[in-house]
Amino acid sequence: MKPAPFDYVRPGTLEEALQALAGHPEAKVLAGGQSLVPLLSMRLAAPAVLVDINELPDLDHVRVDAEGVRVGALARHARVLADADVARVQPLVTKALANVAHATIRNRGTTVGSLVHADAAAEMPMVLQLLGGSVDVVGPAGRRTIPVEELYVGPLESSLHHDEIAVEAFFPALAADTGVAFEEIARRHGDYAMCGVAAVVTVDGDRVVAAKAGYLSVSDIPAVVDLTEALGGELRDASLARAAEAALAVLEPETDIHATADYRAHLATVLTARVVTAAYEDARTRAGGSK
């Protein structure tokens, strides 16, 4: 389990990093390395060059304002998870991060790295998708913002160009009268979930005026389903069942060695009800608190 030979550069400026990428079509960007390094060690990936961005300035930030949370490319999961402002402005980010792997992996892995790795079994791409966030990238043509709707194009495939570096992710702030919840079921603590669901629910008094759920590990790319219509404004067993049906119509769970497609679909149903209910309660609490 030793990587095949590769060249390694550790540029000190973004410009140098971009040049290194541009010069090598087989180059890969290394930040936290929690997905890339195992792939290298198992020789499942053999890039000619690793462009280590850990020395780049000004990418290690977590900035929070009324609009939302901005996470720099070198901010580790653990740091984002521990940020009280993040939890206040967009609590779903915090709730989801607590489910990302294990503490040691969160200490090294970067949130932006996870987002552009584009794994539909990972928590953060789904959360970005659900919240309607975006990723800023810098390339030879300068900086551009990729809205999440345009980010995930296929399994483990993002719309980043090879010569671009993701520098920042943006998670929009929690809207008024809105609550969130997250739950996943994994074989072991910290494993990739067999299914995970996050929900964002907006209320007006007792009524649900908007509800969306995001799904982990039951589709090729991070899946988000609008459940507003299926719920019909209220949370009852029947409306929650309709919501789950609406989700299953979109989801494409598959069988692997850990769980059958049927079981994953069942978990999606169970978790839809649990998580939508929890997000609703959260919204009611927040709405009550703000009055």
Which residues of the shown chain bind another protein in the complex (CB under 8 A)? 1-5, 42-43, 185, 187-192, 194, 257-260, 262-263, 266-267, 270
| Residue (2 or 291) nearer to another protein, CB | 2
For residue 217, is it left (φ>0), alpha (ψ between -120 and 50) or beta?
A: left
| Residue (39 or 210) nearer to another protein, CB | 39
Phi, psi of 11 (to 5 degrees): -65, 155
Q: Which two tokens stand for residue 285?
A: 């609490």
Q: Which two tokens stand for residue 45?
A: 């990936």
Element (H, E) at 154: strand 152-154
| Residue (35 or 54) nearer to another protein, CB | 35
| Residue (40 or 64) nearer to another protein, CB | 40
Find how far residue 119's CA is from the centre of its chain: 9
CB of 189 to another protein, least distance (A): 4
Which of 20, 38, 129, 115 has the alpha carbon at shortest distance from 77? 115
CB of 154 to another protein, least distance (A): 22
CB of 291 to another protein, least distance (A): 34
What's the DSSP call for residue 4?
A: P
What's the DSSP call for residue 110?
A: B
CA 105, CA 92: separation in Å to the nearest integer?
20
| Residue (4 or 238) nearer to another protein, CB | 4
| Residue (203 or 264) nearer to another protein, CB | 264
CB of 97 to another protein, least distance (A): 17
Question: Helix, strand, or coil here: 38?
Answer: helix
CB of 61 to another protein, least distance (A): 31
CA 273, CA 279: separation in Å to the nearest integer?
10
| Residue (37 or 287) nearer to another protein, CB | 37
CA 160, CA 134: separation in Å to the nearest integer?
12
CB of 35 to another protein, least distance (A): 11
CB of 183 to another protein, least distance (A): 10
Residue type, 173: A
What's the DSSP call for residue 61?
A: -
